[in-house]
A and B are shown apart, each in its own frame.
Chain A
Amino acid sequence: MRPIEFTLNGARARVTVEPHETLLWVLRQRLAATEVKSGCERGDCGACAVVLDGRAINSCLALAVQAEGKSVLTVRGLGGPEAPHPLQATFVELGAAQCGICIPGMLVSLYAFLQEHPRATRGEIREAIGGNLCRCTGYQKIVDAAEAAARRLVGATE
């Protein structure tokens, strides 16, 4: 067992972990961050994606100890009912969340991607979520919402 410390959605998280425990497991079971979903535990589906120091990763493929001293962002860190992130707002407005189980991973993947590529094309957005499986939406409204959010984000900074 080993104590580690990292930032979770801006707040300090201190937790004792086993060396073999995944970041996904520690987030869900130890830190009650159940917004991080578990779909396959082998990096195939993207439901467990979080942003680790600015990069979207599958938290099922990272060890918790790898988060030591770093910043972890989940969908709850993007925004909430009081102050939704533009991605969250457009996902609701355009009907991009159906069953919604892929959405936390989808949103953080898009968040990290749009930080780097604010003027991404539709095709680039599709590539960015190529590792985030969705079984409900056919991706169309997800891509629509991501495009609309990107426009809002660029508009807000210009």
Chain B
Amino acid sequence: MSTTSGFRIVGDRAPRPDARDKVYGLLRYADDFALAGMLHAKVVRATRPSARILKIDGSRAEALPGVTCVLTARDVPHNVLFSDVPGQTTAIGPLRARTQVLAGDTVRYLGEAVALVAAETEEAAEEAARLVVVEYEDRPGVFDPEEALRPDAPPLEPTGNVISRWKIRKGDVEAGFREADVVVAETYRTGFIDHAFIEPEAGVGWLDENGVITLRVATQVIEHFRDVANVLGLPHSRVRIIAPYIGGGFGGKEDVTVEVFLGLLVWKTRRPVRLCYSREESILSPTKRHPFVMKYTHGARRDGTLVALQVELIADAGGYAYLSPLTLLYAMVHAAGPYRIPHVKVDGVAVLTNNPPTSAFRGFGSAQPAFAYESQMDALARALALDPLAFRERNYLRKGERLASGQELETAVLLPETAARAWHALGPPRTPSGPGKRIGRGVASALTAYGRIVWLHDWSSAWVELQMDGTVLVRTGVPDIGGGQAASLVQITAEILGLAQDEITIHIGDSALTPLAGTTTATRQLYMSGSAVHKAASELRATLLQQTGELLNVPPETIVLADGLAYAEGNPQRKLSFKELAAACARAHRPRSAFAIYQAPAGQVMDFETGQGKVFPDFTFGSQAVEVEVDEDTGEVQVLRVVACYDVGKVINRNSVEGQVEGGVAMGIGYALLEEDRVAAGLTLTPNLMTYLIPTALDVPDVTAIILESGEGMGPWGARGIGEPALVPTAPAIANAVFDAVGVRVTRLPITPERLWRAGQEQPARRAR
């Protein structure tokens, strides 16, 4: 069988089926879909970051020709969305983890949805939105998370601004520091980051012939049908969400976006409704990556052994909780990085402010601490006059060792290999392109969790059927956000059943018609739905072997499935086509389909007092090495080379793995050098792609992806997730390379020319390089 004697399709560069429709312009994304009689909707958004709503007057808007309705909080049956946060909702109370659908008495950030309008044309809807008059009474706001922690800060909730606290305690951190010969302490800061997918949030909703509210929306989470139903007070089965192929997610289509608004408008108007955000609205509406303040103190012995770490993390949650408590938990577990440190103390707090709400973003809570801990590793190595690679190598965790949070690393940890290979693949250093230019190199390693927290009892399901014509159909509720989620499942099915990819059709992302697969988040789909499809296809395979064995009078275990045929090993002359097999199964009353549920291994909830316990199913480990050129006079940084080396366990589709790595590096370059939503007193000053800069083709160099396959991941054939891990080490590797070039450590992202120049002025005694 293929799984023991090498692979036929898995591991190769099989073209994705969805790519064809994409390059021909045939694919209908969320906003490429229209229905007859469709209304156009707009959201009226708060123009103040912190205010009481005195009055909303929609009468002028309603009087406008073509306007169908104006909805406010009073029209929302249950005006609340909950984020379920294990370990926090019980400790701190569910009130903290809720968001209002439309602002009732107060607005807590600029851009918060206040009202909805629907009209016959988009122009009328825009005009109507402008005509809705909202009277505000400004309230004191708080725009800095550290200020929001002070007792006299204006409270967003009656109980204060703290939305979540976590801690990790391991060993005795004071004793640890007494053993240290060198202590490095620094505060690192990161900013608001926009997902900046090229497809803004969008969707069309309608009431189907059975009275089911059907929403075709760009979402990473079709399970939001439950949220829509809860808001409307309907049974869950009366709402259906369809996710077409999505034009980028990155966590920004993980929380509810347009779906609840569409559900409300469809329910009220009984007509099809379209809602598509403008770019400005996409940037002003939730959510962003959390800005973090990260106070790190590391202690190490003279020989380069890490002995102690103390960390304080402060996350700006913005106006509402969304997933902030979970993001912070991820940051806690990743805070010490992939290093062996006997004494660790980490305290984290997520704080409400009147800034834009923050939530999921690729590298969910693991990207921010990596900037801090990998900058620290570099600074420690230099303080100890040790080679940065050798220093890391001495302290990397090995398989079988435990994180500061007590979780054992149960699978391969190829960190030394990834760092060495990335570093050496940089090749000989380049010479500077001119006077005043300096070349520098840096490396960073990271671990990043994939799969959902083990206490959440994650599962996915899939259904695979042999059709009467011999082709195969796969159904699973996976949203495909561009990572090749659907294509990889086709490849897995093709491998197991011995079929070509074009003999397999896959239906994805429909909460009514495809078995639920969980969310396309947390780098979990290849692991979870890959495992569910693997299981379902394997069950169908067993059926086909049994059926063939009976027909050919040979033991089933001798049957080979290959090239769409079934035959006994060594006797390919006596063969059955899949079409013949389908008919034979039907005659024998043998099911031609298999439904499988994959349950992730579950675990106990961690100890909240010490932060000890298993939190994640597994991690992906990798390193990146970069070479930069810095202009000493202007502070400009150009990335010349990036090598990224990861152990992905097992490659399913090589193009997709490399694509995730290359795209992750590009996003990491943006995080390091370009991207930041500048927010002043709650007002976003970067509401378009001319002021919020994502990398262009000229900002990203060729990236070398080196892919290792330990075979020890949790997914099919030992695959690990790569979507989020790909982004994480880039920014610290660049920061370290900048230091290598000019001897200046920038502790705040992004490293803009101005920040680098200023840091150079503040650090005039440039350390020996």
Contacts and interface: CB of A to CB of B under 8 A. Distances in A.
Contact of A41 (B26, B279, B698): B279
A99 B482 contact: yes
B343 to A, nearest CB: 39
A153 interface: no
B19 interface: yes
Given A35-B26, A101-B247, A135-B250, A141 B698 contact: no
A88 B23 contact: yes
A129 B688 contact: no
A141 B279 contact: no
Contacts of B197: 99, 101, 135
A98 B15 contact: no
B309 interface: no
Contacts of B246: 99
B659 A136 contact: yes
A42 B690 contact: yes
Counting chain A CB atoms within 10 Å of each CB, the highest count among B23, B688, B696 belongs to B23
Interface stretch (B27-35, B405-413, B494-502, B731-739): B27-35
Interface stretch (B233-241, B628-636, B663-671): B663-671
A92 B19 contact: yes
Given A37-B29, A88-B23, A135-B196, A42 B688 contact: yes
Contact of B279 (A39, A107, A135, A137): A39
B23 A75 contact: yes
A138 B664 contact: yes
Interface string B662-696: 11111100000000000000000000111000101
A101 B24 contact: no
Given A37-B29, A140-B702, A99 B247 contact: yes
Interface string A110-149: 0000000000001001110111111111111111000000
B697 interface: yes
Nearest to B664: A138
A126 B697 CA distance: 5
A4 interface: no
B288 to A, nearest CB: 15
A133 B198 contact: yes
B279 A95 contact: no
B481 interface: yes
Nearest to B726: A138
B656 interface: yes
A19 interface: no
A31 interface: no
A75 B700 CA distance: 25
Contacts of B700: 138-140
A95 B15 contact: yes
B696 to A, nearest CB: 5
Interface residues of B, number: 56
Interface in A68-99: 74-76, 79-81, 84, 87-88, 91-95, 97-99
A93 B659 contact: no
Nearest to A137: B663
Contacts of A126: 697-698
Contacts of B28: 34
Nearest to A77: B25
B688 A40 contact: yes
B634 to A, nearest CB: 20
A151 B237 CA distance: 54
A40 B31 CA distance: 13
Contacts of A97: 16, 19, 22-23
Contacts of A139: 662, 666, 696-697, 700
A137 B198 contact: no
A138 to B, nearest CB: 3
Contacts of A8: none
A134 B665 CA distance: 13
A93 to B, nearest CB: 6
A57 interface: no
Contacts of A133: 198, 689, 694, 696
A89 to B, nearest CB: 8
B690 A81 contact: no
B199 interface: yes
Contacts of B717: none
A22 interface: no
B299 interface: no
B55 interface: no
Nearest to B279: A40
B703 interface: yes
Given A92-B20, A100-B18, A101-B248, A132 B199 contact: no
Interface string B480-513: 0111100000000000000000000000000000
B659 A95 contact: yes
Nearest to A35: B25
Interface in B88-139: none
Given A97-B19, A135-B667, A88 B199 contact: no
B37 to A, nearest CB: 15
A69 to B, nearest CB: 24
A138 B24 contact: no
Nearest to A140: B662
Given A39-B199, A42-B690, A135-B197, A142 B19 contact: no
7 A-B pairs with least C-beta separation: A99-B482, A35-B25, A95-B655, A101-B247, A100-B22, A138-B666, A138-B662
7 contacts: A34-B31, A35-B24, A37-B198, A92-B23, A130-B696, A136-B663, A141-B659
Interface of A: 34-42, 44-45, 47, 74-76, 79-81, 84, 87-88, 91-95, 97-104, 107, 122, 125-127, 129-143
Interface of B: 13, 15-16, 18-20, 22-29, 31-32, 195-200, 245-250, 278-279, 481-484, 653, 655-656, 658-659, 661-667, 688-690, 694, 696-698, 700, 702-703
Given A37-B198, A138-B661, 4 more contacts: A34-B28, A42-B690, A76-B24, A138-B667
